[in-house]
Chains A and B, each alone.
Chain A
């Protein structure tokens, strides 16, 4: 028994090391971000390959479908951002995989319309979170021209922010991918748990044997 123990353990450990850890994966993930006025994103396996032509669903509050897309050959997809609302980007491939990514309301540009029928989200806007809205409102009291200026200014600021948004999106995507990389300690941890479980089982069995 001892010999085979050492042997199989050796094989287990070796195989963990021989097969390049970076190329291991099975889980599908999805990433999406707002860039300018569109939603861009892609689906990927944690092995860095990407699933092609999969169905992507954009869902608003309560799971109502806003949009349905098919990713392209590179696993990427993009669509026009329609509403300023928490949007759940879902992938549902037929082979038993699914993944989600939430784009929060705050990521959408302020001049997009609110999602129709989302009463509770409407309230948030009027609490003065949005500089453009509140500024514009204040402006109507004084002069119309000021309102127009503010709007122009807001648009200018937004356009200046686009490259930053892009960089941020890229960073977040990289971070999400990094988290999924399998680490050697995960593998060793799992093996340890299983051998440990067998150890506990052996102990219980040995005690039972003694009692008899």
Chain B
């Protein structure tokens, strides 16, 4: 779901870059000493995850892990995503330099929304705790869905008559949503088992 150079219109690039920069700023202001290694590792994970392609019919889509980054990092996902997307552009030619802001914004906004929606379930004390797997499952699925919707919106706002194709791209991502939901669910369940502090600490959004 990377948008390449030369696809977006000028105003869309300007607005999305500004918003992405603001997101990165907020993310950096919320970083504390203990979250830096976590952000670095997750950034690298996101960087590599995009290489895992799954061929579906005529199209091919790749994992994103937007939900996982959002769940674990909150606003810090913005700088982590920006750095990883920059590396993907430089090393693999995914996306582009002018669209870096738009791609960061699409993924970052999805990540932050996921955090706001699902992180409270992890932190909930007392009452019946939600199963980590299902929290991750929903965060992963919703994360990529939101990412896709923002992606479609960005293209749509660029004033291109892409209606049908955008729909086709979103449909092609439906299997990815399911796969990513399972991957994120397993990852969260695993982390909960071996390193519960990683999920319980919540200074990232407060």
Q: Are B51 and A187 in contact (CB under 8 A)?
A: yes
Instruction: Say yes or no: A12-B33 contact (C-beta < 8 A), given A19-B52, A194-B84.
Output: no
Q: Are B91 and A190 in contact (CB under 8 A)?
A: yes
Judge if B97 is at the interface, Cβ distance under 8 Å. Answer: no
The contact size tier of chain B is 35 or more
Most buried by A among B6, B48, B62: B48
Judge if A25 is at the interface, Cβ distance under 8 Å. Answer: yes
Q: Are A191 and B165 in contact (CB under 8 A)?
A: no
Task: Report how many A-B pairs have Cβ atoms within 8 Å.
Answer: 137
For B164, what are the chain A residues with a Cβ–Cβ distance below 8 Å? 94
User: Closest approach, in angstroms, between the C-beta of A100 and any C-beta of chain B?
Assistant: 9
Point out the residue from B34, B50, B60 that lies within 8 Å of A47, measured CB to CB: B60
Q: Which residue of B lies closest to A1 (CB)?
A: B37
Instruction: Say yes or no: A15-B36 contact (C-beta < 8 A), given A186-B92, A195-B44.
Output: no
Q: Are B91 and A189 in contact (CB under 8 A)?
A: yes
Query: How many angstroms between the C-alpha atoms of A1 and B39 in the bound complex?
Result: 13
The contact size tier of chain A is 35 or more
Q: Are A16 and B91 in contact (CB under 8 A)?
A: no
For B191, what are the chain A residues with a Cβ–Cβ distance below 8 Å? 4
A residues 1-45 with Cβ under 8 Å of B? 1, 3-5, 7-9, 11-12, 15-16, 19, 23-27, 45
Point out the residue from A27, A186, A190, A198 that lies within 8 Å of B36, measured CB to CB: A198
Q: Are B87 and A190 in contact (CB under 8 A)?
A: yes
Q: Which residue of B lies closest to A2 (CB)?
A: B37
Judge if A97 is at the interface, Cβ distance under 8 Å. Answer: yes
Q: Are B91 and A187 in contact (CB under 8 A)?
A: yes
Judge if A143 is at the interface, Cβ distance under 8 Å. Answer: no
Instruction: Say yes or no: A193-B48 contact (C-beta < 8 A), given A94-B165, A96-B155.
Output: no
Query: How many angstroms between the C-alpha atoms of A124 and B93 in the bound complex?
Result: 36
Nearest 3 Cβ contacts at the A-B interface = A198-B40, A94-B165, A190-B87
